[in-house]
Amino acid sequence: MTHTHPSAHTGDVAGLRRLAQEGRLAEFARTATSRQRAALSGAAFTLAWPIVFNGLTRGYEQRRGHWTCAAGVNRLADTCLDRFYDDVEAVVEDLLTQATTKILNAEGWITMRLRAATVDAHRRRRGARGALQRPRMPGWLATALNHDPWLIELALEILVWVGVPTTAGTQIWPLDAWAEKRSLTTGAVYDSDTRTVLREVTRVLTAMRGRPQWYADYVERPLGAKIPPLAPARADRTTVMDPPALILTPPHEMEDLRLADLASLALSAVEAQLALDPDDEPALGRIITTVFGGMDFAGDAAKPPGEVGDHIDRLAALSSDQEELHRLVRTVREIVAGGRPGG
């Protein structure tokens, strides 16, 4: 992506400094002709961009691990360059509208207002996309997440992310970054992989859907405004391929989530039955076949072959394989009793 910015002559910069020192910069910019406004914008850009890069962009890119982008403006990747230009434009607009008093040092004034100007502009851009300008945790959502500290943090990450215009490659969610954040927050380094985080994202989204209108306004709408990734061109360069679908939850993850929900339901029923009559093994078998044998995977018929896991076929066959069912009942009994399941 190629960017251009206003060019400023030395005289334009000197004129801007003079207007600022006289306290007339904002008033002059408000009544300026289009040509005068362009000259002022170019001069303001000349003053602002080094301050933005050194005072904001470089540190931000270093924290993101973008060491090449942090080396200089000419090394910024496209999305990082877009963000840099957004910040510079915010600072220029702030200078030309808020400089209503005498300013002896324009660079010092810009530096002083750098954070406020860019944060305010960022919030306005989020609001224009329909996202919450200052994401905060609603009490009802924290309750739905059982006040789990990590899930609450993840929910806030989701609310922030939906207001960002870009996607994470061909995926919607930046799962790698969130997996790293999860390991730092929970201390569970080995359990903090992308599959785990995706299951937790699905859980958080399910909780958010408890308020359908809120979810539609602050999650679905800004999510739909994201810029899709560019499609690669075909080898013959004559046709542009359709962009890959943005996958919210891959099929195998949906299978895992459904199975986990069913397993939780079955476990509760087994525990209740064991408390009632621990020797009634047929009752335990009926619980398992009722829960898993009646699974509805009609929606999977539209999937390409091979996308439905083999474990689903094995579970569906339980009701006709009494030996396998007996083994599973024995294993479940041992798990509930706190023993080690047999082989």
Which whole number is the average pLDDT over 235-257?
50
Cα 63 to the chain's mean position, in Å?
A: 17
* Residue 22 pLDDT greater than 80, yes or no: yes
Give the model's pLDDT for residue 238.
47
Give Cβ neighbours of residue 302 (< 8 Å, ≥ 6 apart).
Answer: none
pLDDT at 276: 75
pLDDT at 245: 46
pLDDT digits (tens, 9 = 90+) for 50-64: 998 998 888 878 877
Residue pair 334/326 in contact (Cβ under 8 Å)? The answer is: no
Eight-state DSSP code of residue 23: T
DSSP class of 233: B
pLDDT band at 263, cuts 50/70/90?
A: low
Residues 6+ apart with CB under 8 A from 16: 25, 40, 43, 44, 47, 106
pTM of the model: 0.44
Q: Report the amino acid identity of residue 319.
A: S
Higher pLDDT, 250 or 330: 330
* pLDDT band with cut points at 50, 70 and 90 for residue 204: very high
Q: Which helix (H) or strand (E) holds 326?
A: helix 322-336
pLDDT at 21 over 90: yes
Bigger pLDDT: 83 or 141? 141
Q: Which residue has the higher pLDDT, 169 or 211?
A: 211
User: What does the radius of gyration of the chain's CA atoms come to, in whole angstroms?
Assistant: 29
**DSSP 8-class letter at 234:** P
- The pLDDT tens digits for 282-314 are 777 777 766 665 544 444 433 444 444 455 455
Q: What whole-number percentage of the chain has pLDDT above 70?
A: 66
Average pLDDT over residues 114-142: 73
Domain ranges of the chain: 10-128, 139-224, 251-336
- Whether 44 shows a pLDDT value over 80: the answer reads yes
Q: Where are the alpha helices (H) located in 129-246, listed in sequence order? A: 139-144, 149-161, 175-186, 194-208, 212-215, 221-224
Which DSSP symbol is given to 22?
A: T
179: closest CA among 154, 208, 202? 154
Q: To which H or E segment does residue 58 belong?
A: helix 58-63
Cβ atoms 75, 114 nearer than 8 A: no
Return the pLDDT at 303. Answer: 43
Q: For position 161, what pLDDT does the model report?
A: 80
Residues 309-340: tens digit of each pLDDT: 455 455 555 555 677 767 777 777 777 766 44
For helices 322-336 and 251-276, what crossing angle results, to 10°?
A: 70
Integer Cα distance of 180 and 175 in angstroms: 9
Cα 167 to Cα 246: distance, rounded to the nearest angstrom: 9
Task: Please choose, from the candidates 49, 43, 44, 40, the residue with its C-alpha nearest in 3D space to the C-alpha of residue 10.
Answer: 43
* pLDDT of the residue at 147: 92
Please compute the mean of the pLDDT values over residues 92-96 and round it to a whole number: 89
